[in-house]
Amino acid sequence: MTQTIGFIGLGNMGGRMTRCITGKGIEVIGFDAHTPNIAGAGATPAISAGDVADRADIVFLSLPDSKIVEAVVYGEDGLLAHARAGQTIVDLSTAAPESTRKIAAALAEKGADYLDAGISGGAAAAERGELTLMIGGDEAALDRVRPAMEHFATNLFFMGASGAGHTTKLLNNFLNAVALSATSEVMVAGRRAGLDMDALLGVLNTSSGVNFATLNRFPKIVHGDYLKGGLTNSLMMKDVLLYTELIAGLGVAGLHASGPLASFGAGIATGRAGEISNTVVDVIGDLSGGIRVHGSEEQA
């Protein structure tokens, strides 16, 4: 049986995921607070989140944080008011697991399933339809919506009960934040020391310092391409803070959050909140005397 797909939140990531679906000739009922995003994603316009819920069997959410997710779910014309038995709502946002579990329980009373599906891979993977999803909730519900997810994701991992997907996402994003901020510092230091940036990356990527940032970010950044379109400094900071709240609740010692909190916090404080998080290398460079890891040697 064909299931109608809805999508709420058609911005940086949601728009790309939706285009992966509509690009195959499949209709998506879409809603976004910024109306032009709907047409940009090739979606059929809805007038509200509730309208999407009324018209779609599967509803995907791609929203900035738990506060906005809760507004979309609990609002007067929100998903909870319109949810029905047999419907599946999939939250692709990065959200607080505790909030996720409460929403899942509320929707279950209406007979609807709520899956939390953290995403990884960034804008480039979203564009190609090759995202990784880490999913929490009812596994049978996941099986029902898996074909719709596979339009924009190639790796789907079932992580356990409600909240497990978003918990996994926070763990992953924290490591991403550590790698990006620490690698930025190392690259600035290497530039100041007069090292060739490509040669330094060659060493790191064949040695024990290798990480996602050295492999996928800095080969572009050292040539002036900041890969715009990904996670911003403010969203990275939000994710790190959610991680610290998570491990505090788990009773786990948090010994490594200070670095990314300082780095992305400095980016926000210096006016780069809305810029891609890769610009944290320039934040560290500015604090180190105006160093840039790309461009002529005179800049160093």
157 and 9 co-located in one domain: yes
For the cut 90, the answer to whether the pLDDT of residue 123 exceeds it is: no
Catalytic residues: 169
138 and 210 co-located in one domain: no
247 and 286 co-located in one domain: yes
Q: Which residues of 181-193 are buried (b: 16+ CB within 10 A; e: fewer)?
A: bbbbbbbbebbee
What range defines the domain where residue 283 resides? 167-299
Number of residues written out for the chain: 300
143 and 267 co-located in one domain: no
* Euclidean distance between CA atoms 38 and 288, whole angstroms: 42
Sheet containing strand 113-120, strands side by side: 44-45, 28-31, 5-8, 58-61, 88-91, 113-120, 131-136, 153-160
58 and 126 co-located in one domain: yes
Q: Specify the pTM.
A: 0.93
95 and 174 co-located in one domain: no
214-225: pLDDT as tens digits: 999 999 999 999
173 and 289 co-located in one domain: yes
Left (φ > 0), alpha (ψ -120 to 50) or beta: where does 160 sit? left
Q: What is the tally of structural domains in the chain?
A: 2
CATH number at residue 189: 1.10.1040.10
24-77: pLDDT as tens digits: 999 999 999 999 999 999 999 999 999 999 999 999 999 999 999 999 999 999
* Euclidean distance between CA atoms 207 and 118, whole angstroms: 30
147 and 47 co-located in one domain: yes
